[in-house]
Amino acid sequence: MISGLKTGLKKLKEAGFKLTPQRRVIFEVLESSDKHMSAEEIHKRVKERYPRAGLATTYRTLDLLKELGLVTNINLGEEHKHYELAGKCHYHLVCLRCGDVIEFGSNFFGKIEKGLSKDHGFEVTDQNVEFHGYCSKCRQKGEKIDDLACGYEG
């Protein structure tokens, strides 16, 4: 994980931003959940801890945290933007039929990341990997699983 509470807030401050209670709480909410949440969901939880928090602040803070690389947002399936702490390195299987999202871990990507740094001068802070397709429940019998989209050989 890229940042615990202390590390994250420290980074905020180092970048010249104020440490407001709202920002603390939003960060805490993100930390306390192990799954991605919509802005609305995050705001709901923020208000439980800090009732006078405004929705706009949640949006503003999420944007700010995203720009600082502390938070990442993904957009799986039909739903709206979801946010989570950056650096969690989740990989998602998104079913196009039922919308189910299966998470899985992988350690294939470190090598690629380092290559990116070299080839493009790009500093990776987070990654979002989605495989779209059909889950076992939704797959129709007779569909060949070998019939994959990309011709890559790996």
Partner DNA sequence: ATTTTAAATGAGAAGAATTCTCAATTGGGA
Partner DNA sequence: TCCCAATTGAGAATTCTTCTCATTTAAAAT
Residues at the contact surface with DNA, assessed by CB under 7 A: 13, 17-23, 38-40, 50, 52-57, 59-61, 63, 78, 80-81
Between 50 and 134, whose beta carbon lies closer to a copy of itself? 134
**What SS3 state is found at 68?**
coil
* 17 binding partner (options a copy of itself, DNA, none; Cβ < 5 to 8 Å by kind): DNA
Contacts of 29 by beta carbon, 8 Å cutoff, 6+ apart = 37, 42, 45, 46, 49
The C-alpha atoms of residue 73 and residue 31 are separated, in whole angstroms, by 14
Amino acid at 9: L
Least separation in angstroms between residue 107's CB and a copy of itself is 4
Least separation in angstroms between residue 81's CB and a copy of itself is 7
Amino acid at 48: E
Between 53 and 101, whose beta carbon lies closer to DNA? 53
